[in-house]
């Protein structure tokens, strides 16, 4: 029987991480590297996930450059703080164009990348796909959190995260048994939000604090490595208990 340190070892494993320059994406890259793996980041300006052909070309080039691919982590996403006209606005002012752009980045690009990388992930022997989701892909948003602030929760973000979970379930069955597909749904991450928002969020969270980027590291290490070789189709909630009420 292998020891934990053997199961968690990613030496020789190659990972592609979308949104690797972002807050959580950067943490994903750190985890892979800390465990001995190699990382290629897919992010702006090198590649725009809104473009299908550009995305497919980037994946092909990455597979050639890395001589394979074992792990794909989809962390790129339009979130509440994304600067996009018609996005983080009152519901009546959220636009269809912003909605469609978010679906393309949050969901469609993950489909495109897995489709393009399917054969090499299957050939890996260790294929693992991890989709970064959200508690708002699982439950509806608590609008009381935002009262009295200038913050908004774009409906397109919640809908795209719900769709991403269903994509995870589909891929988990379709790509089995050669590739495992799972999701991680973090709760609210502290980013210097208004004090009133933080107080309400903490009061509603069983562990009585907002999340930090490093809280996701254990989940990434688990799902990327052989620690989870018998786990697929699972959404790992890293939310301080938010969704158990």
Complete domains list, the chain, with CATH = 4-237 (3.40.50.720)
What pLDDT, in 10s, does the model give residues 130-159? 999 999 999 999 999 999 998 989 999 999
Query: How far is Cα 79 from Cα 94, in angstroms, rounded to an integer?
Result: 14
pLDDT-derived band at 230, boundaries 50, 70, 90: very high
pLDDT-derived band at 31, boundaries 50, 70, 90: very high
Task: Check pLDDT > 80 for residue 80.
Answer: no
Mean pLDDT of all residues in 47-68: 97
In the chain, alpha helices (H): 4-7, 23-34, 52-66, 96-103, 109-124, 155-174, 195-204, 217-224
Q: What are the φ/ψ torsions at residue 182 (nearest 5 degrees)?
A: -140, 170
Burial grade of 157 (CB within 10 A; 0-12, 13-18, 19 or more): buried
Looking at residue 139, the DSSP 8-state letter turns out to be: S
Burial grade of 232 (CB within 10 A; 0-12, 13-18, 19 or more): buried
Query: How far is Cα 52 from Cα 58, in angstroms, rounded to an integer?
Result: 10
Q: What is the DSSP string of 191-210?
A: SS--HHHHHHHHHHSTTSS-
Q: Rounded to two decimals, what is the model's pTM? A: 0.96
- State both tokens at 167: 């994509």
pLDDT-derived band at 81, boundaries 50, 70, 90: confident
pLDDT-derived band at 21, boundaries 50, 70, 90: very high
Rg (CA), the chain: 18
Give the position of tokens 């990348």. Answer: 113
């Amino acid at each position: 029987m292998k020891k934990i340190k053997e199961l968690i070892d990613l030496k020789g494993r190659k990972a592609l991480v979308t949104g690797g320059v972002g807050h959580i994406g950067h943490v994903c890259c750190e985890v892979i590297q800390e465990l001995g793996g190699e990382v290629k980041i897919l992010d702006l300006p090198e590649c725009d996930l809104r473009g299908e052909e550009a995305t497919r070309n980037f994946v092909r080039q990455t597979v050639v450059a890395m001589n394979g691919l074992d792990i794909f982590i989809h962390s790129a996403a339009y979130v509440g703080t994304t600067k996009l006209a018609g996005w983080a606005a009152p519901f009546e002012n959220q636009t269809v164009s912003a909605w469609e752009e978010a679906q393309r980045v949050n969901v469609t690009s993950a489909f495109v990348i897995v489709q393009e990388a399917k054969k090499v992930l299957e050939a890996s022997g260790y294929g693992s796909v991890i989709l970064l989701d959200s508690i708002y892909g699982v439950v509806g948003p608590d609008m009381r959190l935002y009262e009295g602030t200038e913050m908004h929760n774009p409906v397109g973000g919640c809908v795209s995260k719900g769709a991403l979970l269903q994509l995870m379930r589909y891929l988990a069955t379709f790509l089995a048994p050669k590739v495992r597909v799972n999701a991680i749904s973090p709760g609210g991450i502290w980013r210097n939000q208004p004090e009133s928002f933080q107080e309400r969020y903490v009061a509603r969270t069983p562990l009585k604090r907002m999340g930090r980027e490093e809280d996701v590291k254990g989940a990434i290490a688990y799902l990327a490595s052989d620690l989870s070789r018998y786990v697929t189709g699972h959404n790992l909630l890293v939310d301080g208990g938010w969704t158990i009420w």
